[in-house]
Amino acid sequence: MAVQLRTKMALTHGAIAVLTIVLVVAASYLLINSRFLDYVTENKLRIHQELADHFKEAYQVGVWDQKKLSELTMEALENGYLIELRDKNGSILWESNMLGEGLVNDTMLRIEERIREHYGPKPVSLQSHLYELKHEEEPIGELEVKYYSKYFLTDHELMFLRYLNKSLLWVAGISLLLALGLSTVISSSISNQLSKIIEVAKSLARGETNHYKQLTDSSIVEIAELGVTINDLGEEIKEKEASNKRLSADIAHELRTPLTTLQSHLEALMEGIWQPTPDRLASCHEEIVRMAGLVNDLEQLNKYDVANIKLVKTTFDFRELLANIITNFERDFTKKNVALSFVGELVQISADREKIGQVIVNLISNSLKYTHEGGRVLISLEHDQNFVYLVVNDNGIGISPQDQPYIFDRLYRADPSRTRATGGAGIGLAIAKAIVETHKGQISVISQENKGTEFTVILPKK
Ligand code: ADP
């Protein structure tokens, strides 16, 4: 059965607290009680000895002071001791009963009751101790002290024990309340912090990124990390959402221009303003081809979304791949009258051949697209121990410094009107960058307007 964290923590803490308190209190109770009783017993023996000494003092030059004996016996009885004083021949000189049997019985009964009150109905038994009495090294008799074994406690001692036990119970009760209170406060705070995170996660799941709020800090590392993770997740979702919005706006913008042109051309043809000459039809066809190209590009964009790129690595010769692609481009270069030259050494590389091919195609087709007739493109391939370096250099139109930071972004074109004429949608470099980075490589550009552009790709050999 699932229970709330708050309840579970309060119950667990409560149980641990109860157990600890019971153990501590029980241990203290047993220890203190037994120690105390030991102390009481020792004390009793000391008192008996003192009693014996006092009785000894009642003997003066062969005569026992009867008054003093009576006083001492009374005092002993009040303290719970029965005494019997015998002379050196063993005849009884004085005993507690001589104070009156009724008084002795009453006192002893009172003591018995007190003992039962504290220890329960255990049978109580009398213990006795014998003390030899001497006067100037001469034996004068003996004193027998009888008392209720170690169970016997005075009113003060009983009161002390009662206070002690009561205090232990108070300590136990207060500690238990404190433990329960504290655990409720702590578990509530943890539970509240988690509830906040859950609330934010739920609102994110519902797609409410606008209401998404930053989570407050927590002093608990794990909860703080969870909060940060949810924050990051929220930011990421927000960014993705914004990027998706940008993308659809860009796509709409891209499609609207050729569609509007096509629409106005067709309307002009339908209304008879225009004659369907081969030129006009060719212009309409061109727009359709451009849209088809754009749709194609969009498909590519999905395929090469950084998160989706899965590499199928093989070991192949980079120079050979590059040479094949250059061969395929030769006709287009000749057609546009752009000179193409290539230098490079054979170099083995472990990478995704098809995707690296895509990067090379994008760079070479850009260099052709953005270089005027009569221009030239130089391609070089070098390598060192760990990396290969591919450089595509042209003396074309170049890229302005303002545009350079953005050319690797999706759907970014340095000059929309200019590139529309060349058919690019601004995704070739974004794709190239994603592929190169998935290979843990780098792509960079150096360019000067109206002078030319140089792209460098660095890829690890393994
Ligand atoms: P596109 O499909 O528009 O060529 P890319 O992502 O390949 O998209 O390139 C982005 C932009 O970078 C291009 O629109 C162009 O403005 C600029 N660019 C890329 N390569 C070159 C180059 N060799 N010379 C000049 N500009 C370039």
Contact of 387 with 461, CB cutoff 8 Å: yes
Q: What residue ranges line ligand 1, CB within 6 angstroms?
A: 362, 366-367, 370, 394, 396-399, 407, 412-414, 419, 424-430, 453
The preferred substitution site among 296, 338, 407, 411 for testing ligand 1, maximizing ligand atoms within 8 Å of CB, is: 407
Report the pLDDT averaged over residues 172-194.
Answer: 85
Among the residue ranges 86-100, 215-229, 288-302, 331-345, the one predicted with the least confidence is: 288-302
Helix (H) or strand (E) holding 83: strand 82-87
DSSP line for 265-319: HHHHHHTTSS---HHHHHHHHHHHHHHHHHHHHHHHHHHT-GGG-----EEEEHH
pLDDT digits (tens, 9 = 90+) for 312-360: 899 999 999 999 889 888 888 999 999 999 999 899 999 999 889 889 9
Ligand 1: centre distance to CA 396 (Å): 11
For residue 54, what pLDDT is reported? 87
pLDDT digits (tens, 9 = 90+) for 444-456: 999 999 999 999 9
Tokens matching residue 165: 């036990």
For residue 236, what pLDDT is reported? 83
Ligand 1: centre distance to CA 260 (Å): 25
Ligand 1: centre distance to CA 363 (Å): 9
Cα(first)–Cα(last) distance of the chain, in Å? 53
Among the residue ranges 115-124, 261-270, 277-286, 427-436, the one predicted with the least confidence is: 115-124
Tokens matching residue 71: 């006083």
Pairing relationship of beta strands 376-383 and 339-344 according to DSSP bridges = parallel
Instruction: In whole angstroms, give the CA distance from residue 341 to residue 215.
Output: 58
pLDDT digits (tens, 9 = 90+) for 121-154: 777 778 888 888 888 888 888 989 888 765 566 7
Pairing relationship of beta strands 92-95 and 82-87 according to DSSP bridges = antiparallel
Among the residue ranges 290-294, 435-439, 443-447, the one predicted with the least confidence is: 290-294
Half-sphere exposure of 236 (CA within 13 A, CB side): 9
Q: Is the pTM of this model over 0.85?
A: no
